Amino acid sequence: MTWANCGFPLTDNTAIPRFLTGTLFILPFIFMCIRLLNKFVNPSPWGADDVCIFIGFVCATALVPIVYRLLAIGLGRDIWTLQPYKITEFLKILFSTQIFYITGLSTIKASILFFYLRIFPSLRFRRVLWATQGFNVLLLFLYLILTFTQCRPLNKYWLGWDGEQAGVCMDFNKLVLTHVGFNILLDIWMLVLPLTQLYKLNLGFKKKIGVIMMFSVGLFLTAVSALRIQVLVHFATANNITSEALWVYVWSLAELDVERSHADLTNGLDQPLK
């Protein structure tokens, strides 16, 4: 007998997230196109901030078709209605998305920090920026290492769901929640950093508008990250992971896309501030 034959309702929450996944991608894609077009119209050196935002763009973009594949094999539906091979494939893809997400988030932050290094001339402030960049890179490599070592053997991550695979895994939820916590603190710190310098500067109207937009998007990003924590906490206690993971993916994509937009908006302040 199937779940439906027993009279229990089936979960299928894929319609809205299917729409949101593509929609969330549009705005940062437009910003990226404008950024690249500006490089051709107003030729300027390809800086470290450009390299990092491009890597972040590739990582975030890769998640879009991945989410659609997950929707096709069971994301948003009850795990007990899926065939075993689909659960295994789902968990394999879930593992790969951690790599794209961690790399994308850190490289986008690195782009913003490199941009700050380009526009703020204060030597003392630049040292703070380099220290922040070092912490960001440390988080990147630490959580990539933890991702690849969270299960021993590694394939227990996607084969251990049936309880028959030998090996051990660390607490996935602690891994994810600590990563989110560190990144929210880093977001707040990176939001405060430029404010410590701007009061010293005599900015024109265009740059004042740019700073206001940058600060506003930064606040929105922090709010999105905080909301994502609530979703992750709920996911942490869920047994129906294919259903509950749906909004984790939507909020993760939203966070990456807002951060990309933030990075591209800050790029509008493209002259050193003196």
Distance CA 39, CA 115 (A): 15
In sequence order, the 6+-apart residues with CB closer than 8 A to the CB of 270 are 44, 119
Helix axis angle, 205-236 to 241-266, nearest 10°: 170
- Predicted pLDDT at 81: 86
Encode 223-250: b = buried (16+ Cβ within 10 Å), e = exposed: ebbeebeebbeebeeeeebbbbbbbbbb
Contact 228, 255 (CB under 8 A): yes
- Predicted pLDDT at 273: 47
Domains and CATH numbers, the chain: 15-266 (1.20.1070)
- Predicted pLDDT at 195: 78
Q: Tokens 């509950």 map to which residue?
A: 244
List average pLDDT for each run of 10 residues in the chain, which is 274 residues long. Answer: 52 72 78 77 79 89 89 86 91 92 93 87 92 97 95 91 86 85 90 77 62 68 77 77 82 80 65 47
Handedness of CA 116, 121, 125, 130 (dihedral sign): positive
The torsion angle over the Cα atoms of residues 92, 96, 101 and 107, rounded to 10 degrees, is 170
Closest residue by Cα to residue 203 from 124, 118, 272: 272
- Predicted pLDDT at 90: 92
In 73-161, the DSSP E strands lie at 151-152
- Predicted pLDDT at 1: 42
Helix axis angle, 123-149 to 172-198, nearest 10°: 170
- Predicted pLDDT at 139: 96
Distance CA 250, CA 66 (A): 12
Q: Which two tokens stand for residue 213?
A: 């937009």
